[in-house]
Structure 1
Amino acid sequence: LAPPWAFHLQAIFMGAVFFVGTPLNFVVLLAVAKYKKLRAPLNYILVNITFAGFIFVTFSVSQVFVSTLKGYYFLGHTMCALESAVGSIAGLVTAWSLAALSFERYLVICKPFGAFKFDSNHAMAAVVITWVIGTFCATPPFWGWS
């Protein structure tokens, strides 16, 4: 195990991530819900990243923060596996959303006069695909594959 100071440092870091990340992600989600001008196709992917970040911070980081303060994981094996899966899904959704965002930027910069236009249907498809890929990749341990 690590020395006690390392756990204290981890608790401080995770606490900062939780107490800063939760309200900031929530404010972004609230702003997009309130202002229709923010609901552009490109922003669908950014909101997807924010939503995945919100889930990660509220579900995974919070558990790591409290566990670090307590010195042990207190919610049992099932919740440990669920926390791991949710954290993995959120991380994969974020990564694949960034890949979709990069592809959209590639089209705008490298193919500005091309026939393909990234619209709301493409953005929604990208959002759905990121969640399918994330879930598909993160849940096999629940069915015995480790």
Structure 2
Amino acid sequence: MDSRMFSGVAGLNFSSNLSDDRELVDAPAGRGKLSPTGFVVLSVVLGFIMTFGFLNNFVVLLLFCKFKKLRTPVNMLLLNISVSDMLVCLFGTTLSFASSIRGRWLLGRSGCSWYGFINSCFG
């Protein structure tokens, strides 16, 4: 491996987790967080995604339960995607929504890891 690939990398801050209220080292002043209006817009968008994503996937699950003709192998793959999307709406988007309402990440480093795991696993 060429050592030139890593030259100058040691001084960079790769962490974008602001859960401990520290500013980013390499970010210009005032650019580390959204404005209050930005958080409101983000909250509204995440609220719509969370609500409609959950409801639409719930309707898909109800249709699969009600109509046995829909239980084909290909549709079972679609059911799997729907269940996965519903779990992201419940466990992933909910955390982002709650944090955007408050204007900061609420659950610290372990919550950030949980958020990343949920979205990676179910997404």
1:115-134 mapped onto 2 (5 Å cutoff): none
Question: Does the Cα contact within 8 Å between 2:84 and 2:122 map onto a contact in 1?
Answer: yes
Distance 1:86 1:24 in 2: 20
Following superposition, the deviation at residue 76 of structure 1 comes to: 3.2
- The answer for the alignment partner of 1:11 in structure 2 is 43
1:36-115 to structure 2, matched below 5 A, reads 36-91=68-123
Q: Any idea what the Cα deviations from partners look like across 1:43-89, whole Å, max 9, x if unmatched? A: 01111111111011111111101110011222332232112111112
C-alpha deviation, 1:37, in angstroms: 0.9
SS in 1 for 2:49: helix
Residue 65 of structure 2 aligns with an amino acid whose one-letter code is A
The superposition leaves residues 82-126 of structure 1 with CA deviations (integer Å, 9 ceiling, x where unpaired) of 1211111222xxxxxxxxxxxxxxxxxxxxxxxxxxxxxxxxxxx
Letter in structure 2 aligned against 1:37: K
Equivalents in 2 of 1:23, 1:58: separation in Å? 11
Q: Distance in 2 between matches of 1:73 and 1:64?
A: 8
Code of the residue aligned with 2:35 in structure 1: it is: P
Structure 1 segments of 4 or more deviating over 3 A?
none
Number of equivalenced pairs: 91
How big is each residue's C-alpha offset from its partner over 1:5-44, in whole Å with a ceiling of 9 and x where there is no partner? 2111111100011111111111111221232111101101
Following the alignment from structure 2 to structure 1, what is the Cα–Cα distance between the partners of residues 34 and 55?
31
- TM-score (ref. length: structure 1): 0.58
Identity %: 32
2:36 touches 2:103 (CA, 8 Å); kept in 1?
A: no
Of 40-49 and 75-84, deviating more is 75-84
Unaligned runs of 5+ in 2: 1-32
Query: How well do the aligned residues superpose, as a CA RMSD in angstroms?
Result: 1.3
Question: Secondary structure at 1:73's aligned position in 2?
Answer: coil
What is the distance in 2 between the residues matched to 1:60 and 1:42?
A: 27
TM-score, structure 2 normalization: 0.68
Match of 2:59 in 1: 27
Unaligned runs of 5+ in 1: 92-146
